[in-house]
Chain A
């Protein structure tokens, strides 16, 4: 076992009431990793993410974030864990009554003693990182969906967390912005050793930035494959995984020659 594990999931099973969505999920995420969670629609990617950040409680199993079990943490401990992580939600979830700057500044106001000049500068730098400089005083409703999503990433980065969870960050972004976002993620992971956990469908983005990934299979209700994206695409023993990553029809995969 490596010593730089930041998130470790052990025998997790999740679901709602009697219905089990996924079971027997175990994986580890290392510091500075760009970890991708992939799976078909409805396979439970976002649900898994919500378990990792402690929004949902699992049916059984353990989720350790920096060695602390988030499934058993009480409120104050949970809040402490939460401060080390940043989350951007699928739909942005910006506060509609605040400008972009205020949205990004909110965590800084609540959790640091920085002066207003400092907070404003930090918030503006964060916004510039996602290409939104000049939009500080816009309300979220005045922006396109893609811009809202980027602003949400800026807000997730507000406290410079060491782990960033991104739920479908590049969905709805144009190719150039999405490329820039990929580069930003690579840059942050390299220079600041921020760990990224990304739920996404964008295969091109996965192969560009993903270091390790898991693929969730709805039918088997567990992890179908784990490893480096390019490696899985070319060498996975599971035809379903290969077809998924090669964007081919799984029914025809038997006829594919490798």
Chain B
């Protein structure tokens, strides 16, 4: 006596089923229609529930009216006959069309060949692996520094071997195309800093010192720093992504096997270009920040000439040179870490993403650390 009937109705995708109560712990399932991925889910869940509730020992699946059975349908038959047999019962699939039965026969042992042993690693193993990885990373780091120094000094001794075409291309990408964003951020920062500092200084009638403040902080500190951070986001990431993609496409291997040194071929032109354009970008940044400041001062009623005089009086050539020197060092770090992360890319799209992120983060961290070192050094040297 059928106790439950259900069906999955779909235009040409009909499936109905019914269950019979266990007699001598034996349940029967009658299937009718097409058993496939799209309509299987309810049947599967219901069968599972039935078997548990009725405490089924033996199962008979009557597939006499099944007119289509795809591989997911086969999985259904396979799963429940295995489940019953694992519990020590007997399962039987009746009246299955011959070609389907043949296929089920083939599938029934799909995983006999290889029982997967899931490798489980203990926490000690994980720690060990992480330590080894750290060691490898450190070694890679020093190897890369060595490779870079050798490639760069070679290029300096023989400038003819540098791929100048790539350098020019990179100058355009890193420099010319970055001018707008650098100017924009510079202008905004100049505007904001001078306005915000003018407000409290006004209480003492000392707004004119905004010019000194802005000039000094931009030239010595913020100009190089913020430009380098923009560069880390814009250029460091693009180097990492580009070289990383080349790495996973085996282009780096191709270069190596052609006898070309990837560091010399890819890294040197990029770093050279970045170092060449960085002072100019910093200069743009400083000039536009001062223009922003000038706007605030003009609106506060100071003539332009006073503003300019204040700035030129407060700044020395040493301030300017120090700022530019910092800028060049920052650019070196940013472009270098971008290329390193690119070359360290392992494989797959995800790895490229990780390299890119890491290029930006490491770039900014390096900039921050180096800036601290500069601050201390300049202070001790009295610059």
Contacts and interface: CB of A to CB of B under 8 A. Distances in A.
Given A96-B347, A96-B348, A192-B70, A122 B114 contact: no
Q: Report the 4 A-B pairs with minimum CB-CB distance, sorted nearest first.
A: A96-B348, A134-B114, A128-B110, A160-B70
A125 B41 contact: no
B118 A96 contact: no
Given A112-B37, A118-B79, A191-B103, A141 B45 contact: no
Interface centre among A122, A137, A139 (most CB of B within 10 A): A122
12 contacts: A97-B349, A112-B40, A124-B110, A125-B75, A129-B110, A133-B110, A133-B111, A134-B116, A139-B348, A159-B37, A160-B70, A160-B72
Given A96-B351, A108-B37, A190 B110 contact: no
Interface string B64-93: 000000111011101100000000000000
A145 to B, nearest CB: 11
Interface string A122-144: 10111011000110110111000
B76 A118 contact: yes
A113 interface: yes
A129 B71 contact: yes
The size bracket of the interface on B is 35 or more
Interface string B345-358: 01111110000000
Contact of A114 (B40, B107, B113): B40
B274 interface: no
B144 interface: no
A122 B71 CA distance: 7
A157 interface: yes
Given A96-B348, A96-B351, A108-B37, A125 B70 contact: no
Contact of B71 (A114, A134, A157): A157
A234 interface: no
Nearest to B99: A191
The size bracket of the interface on A is 20 to 34
A121 B41 contact: no
A160 B71 contact: yes
A139 B45 CA distance: 30
A187 interface: yes
A126 B107 CA distance: 10
Interface in B133-150: none
B99 A117 contact: no
Interface in B117-143: 118-119
A97 B118 contact: no
Nearest to B349: A96
Given A125-B75, A190-B99, A192-B70, A118 B347 contact: no
A115 interface: yes
Contacts of A192: 70-71
Contacts of A129: 71, 110
Contacts of A122: 37, 71-72, 75
B48 interface: yes
Interface string A87-118: 00000000111000000000010001111011
Contacts of B116: 133-134, 136-137
A187 B99 CA distance: 10
Given A113-B41, A114-B72, 18 more contacts: A95-B349, A96-B348, A97-B350, A112-B38, A115-B48, A118-B44, A122-B75, A124-B110, A124-B111, A125-B107, A125-B110, A128-B111, A133-B114, A133-B116, A136-B116, A160-B71, A187-B103, A192-B70
